[in-house]
Amino acid sequence: MNRELRITSEEKQASSVNRVNGSVSDEALILAVQGGARNAFGQLVRRHQKRLFRFIYAMTRSFDQTEDIVQDAFVRAFNAMDSFKPGHAFYPWLSRIARNLALNQISREEKKESLDNMVAAGFEPASGELGPFDRLLEGEAARRFYAAVKAMPTKYRTVFALRHFEGLDYAEIAAQLKIPPGTVDSRLYRARQFLLEALKDLL
């Protein structure tokens, strides 16, 4: 009898989440998932997957790797939902999971693709606001831009992606990467100088 009551409660909760659809907050969806309405997690996936994909693609420059990492990140997030603390922001937590997976993938690579191969394998990124670099994200310029980002050393690429794709401020980046804000500033400077040199004919 108790089991039947619990299932009925979960179904009502799931129905409520579905009715409000996209207007419900992340926190409400998380509470619904933790309460047993596991289908509510699908709304979190739909809400954040494009942003997360852009971020991870900027780090890996591989469509296939990005798909795998994003999927793995959502699976890990789902499995850890019971331990997620309500009141905390969901996306920064999710992006940390995905970023760590991406960094692990990068460190496992024995060889780096040549710049020519990266350009030839170019990918048109999903539409969205990407800050002051929007003018570079068209056609051949997009391929050149992402190739240049991928060619950066990992420590510069990660800081650059967090700043310009995720929109984090210096303090947030420092907290995520566990480095001083001054180091964030210097790495961003080096990343931008790298891009200016690689794309000087476009700029």
Q: Which helix (H) or strand (E) holds 176?
A: helix 170-177
Domain membership of residue 195 (yes or no) is yes
Domain membership of residue 144 (yes or no) is yes
- How many structural domains compose the chain? 1
Domain membership of residue 57 (yes or no) is no
Q: What is the pLDDT of residue 129?
A: 44
Q: What is the pLDDT of residue 79?
A: 92
The overall pTM is greater than 0.85: no
Domain membership of residue 168 (yes or no) is yes
Helix intervals (H) in 21-111: 26-34, 40-60, 63-79, 90-108
**How many Å is the maximal CA-CA distance in the chain?**
72
Tokens of 105: 């993938």
Q: What is the pLDDT of residue 183?
A: 92
Cα separation values, 173 from 57, 158, 189, Å: 18, 9, 14
Domain extent at residue 147: 125-203
Domain membership of residue 87 (yes or no) is no
Q: Which residues contact 185 (CB under 8 A, 6 or more apart)?
A: 170
Domain membership of residue 143 (yes or no) is yes
Domain membership of residue 186 (yes or no) is yes
Return per-residue pLDDT of the chain as tens, 203 residues: 433 333 334 444 444 444 434 468 899 999 999 888 888 999 999 999 999 998 888 888 788 889 999 999 999 999 999 888 878 889 989 998 998 898 888 766 634 444 444 445 544 444 444 444 445 444 567 778 878 888 888 888 888 888 888 888 888 888 888 889 899 999 999 999 988 888 887 66
Residue count of the chain: 203
- CA-nearest of 164, 162, 160 to 189 is 160
> What CATH number does residue 152 fall under?
1.10.10.10
Look up tokens 């309460």; give the residue: 35
Q: What is the pLDDT of residue 78?
A: 93
Domain membership of residue 47 (yes or no) is no
